[in-house]
Amino acid sequence: MASFYQFLLPCSGFSVAKSTSDIPHDQSTVASHLWAALQSFIASDASFRSRPLYLTGESYAGKYVPSIGYYILKQNAIVLSRLIINLKGVAIGNGLTHPVVQVATYANSAYFTGLINVKQKVYMEILQDEAVKLTLAEKWDDASDARATILNYLQNVTGLATLYDMTKSKPYQTEVLSVFLNKQEVQEALGVTEKIRWEECSDQVDEAFHADIMKSTKYMVEELVRKTRVLLYQGIYDLQDGVVSTEAWMRQMNWDGLEEFLEAKRKVWKVDGELFGYVQRFMNLSHAVISGSGHLVPTDRGSSAQAMIEDWVMQKGLFGSSEEKAVKRVVMQKGLILLTFNLFEIELR
């Protein structure tokens, strides 16, 4: 029996701040807020403390999922046993995790899909070099602006409806979520006690995190893959935070199993004869590429997303092995908690 819950990031969704200065500006603050929220949540039911916990998220979750996962590992080492959180794994979809490497992949992604020509590719590489230079110099605001310049250029020269999915004729139609969540009866059912308007993308939160965008959480993922299980997945049509972008920083991971992972076979993943994508795995690290999907995998391919998460958590099929059956049985008997973090809080460009 699995329990599924969705958490909202501080100052996103229905959460509030007394003033803009109270909005978190960095991942360490986000992690401390989420730790407090998790402790409150787990304390609400005595059975939650021992259950295996899996954290998931997409897009900017490439930052805050590693951040809270890393924070949990560090806190578990120093807190009283009654406060330990039983973290077992994290899953990140189409994430921005190590921007200094990811920002340098945009030109290749666009060029090798036929969306730009050589001249445009060369110009993009000049822009990318500037973004990398500013990041390495830790000029965080300027580096974030440089990344935005690249993405705006790519959007303009390709004419795509969205860089998040090069096959779409319209951007993701996420407005329906805002309409739904701003209904009085829905807010009452969710226990929203204050009069709050749901915002899909907050300009105030965007501004607060502007200097955070180009900072890396790769070292946090490296620590997590040593001590828990990590799933990185991407929809194949995402030009911004897609497969090429993710694989570029994965190849630079400081992890003892990296060489074996890179040598592992990338396997075709089918369910009932339908192609769902491709999976590569070694020990604690799994990488899945989802066919027919862009940036938001659950939106584009809900059945693939469900099958992927279930198989990964239960260590089944391409996400597990015969040697892990004992682990799988323990998880199934004890129950688990799967927390996904709201992915509509901010759209950082």
Q: In a structure prediction context, what are the per-residue pLDDT tens digits for the chain, which is 349 residues long? A: 455 555 555 445 677 777 778 888 899 999 999 999 999 999 999 889 999 999 999 999 999 999 999 999 999 999 999 999 999 999 999 999 999 999 999 999 999 999 999 999 999 999 999 999 999 999 999 999 999 999 999 999 999 999 999 999 999 998 888 899 889 899 888 888 777 788 777 788 888 899 999 999 999 999 999 999 999 999 999 999 999 999 999 999 999 999 999 999 999 999 999 999 999 999 999 999 999 999 999 999 999 999 999 999 999 999 986 434 434 434 444 566 776 665 433 333 3
- Per DSSP, the residues of 46-64 read GGGTTS-EEEEEETTHHHH
CATH number for the domain that contains residue 294: 3.40.50.1820
Residue 349 carries which side chain, given as an amino acid letter?
R
Domain count, the chain: 1
The set of catalytic residues is 59, 238, 295
3-class DSSP state for residue 95? coil
CA neighbor of 150 nearest in space, from 102, 92, 114, 117 = 102
Range of the domain at 230: 2-98+215-341
CA neighbor of 295 nearest in space, from 340, 255, 243, 254 = 243
pLDDT of residue 4: 53
CA-based radius of gyration for the chain? 20
List Cα–Cα distances, 279 to 51, 186, 289, in angstroms. Answer: 27, 38, 7
> Would 159 be classed as within a structural domain?
no
Residue 203 carries which side chain, given as an amino acid letter?
D
> Would 93 be classed as within a structural domain?
yes
List Cα–Cα distances, 35 to 13, 29, 32, 71, in angstroms. Answer: 18, 10, 5, 8
CA–CA gap between residue 307 and residue 301 (Å, rounded): 10
The pTM of the full predicted model, rounded to 2 decimals, is 0.90
> Would 181 be classed as within a structural domain?
no
> Would 328 be classed as within a structural domain?
yes
> Would 222 be classed as within a structural domain?
yes
CA–CA gap between residue 67 and residue 57 (Å, rounded): 12
CA neighbor of 60 nearest in space, from 214, 228, 250 = 214
Q: Where does residue 125 rank: exposed (0-12), middle (13-18), buried (19+ CB within 10 A)?
A: middle
> Would 176 be classed as within a structural domain?
no
Q: What does the DSSP 8-state code read for residue 165?
A: -
> Would 64 be classed as within a structural domain?
yes
pLDDT of residue 269: 97
CA–CA gap between residue 221 and residue 244 (Å, rounded): 18
> Would 268 be classed as within a structural domain?
yes
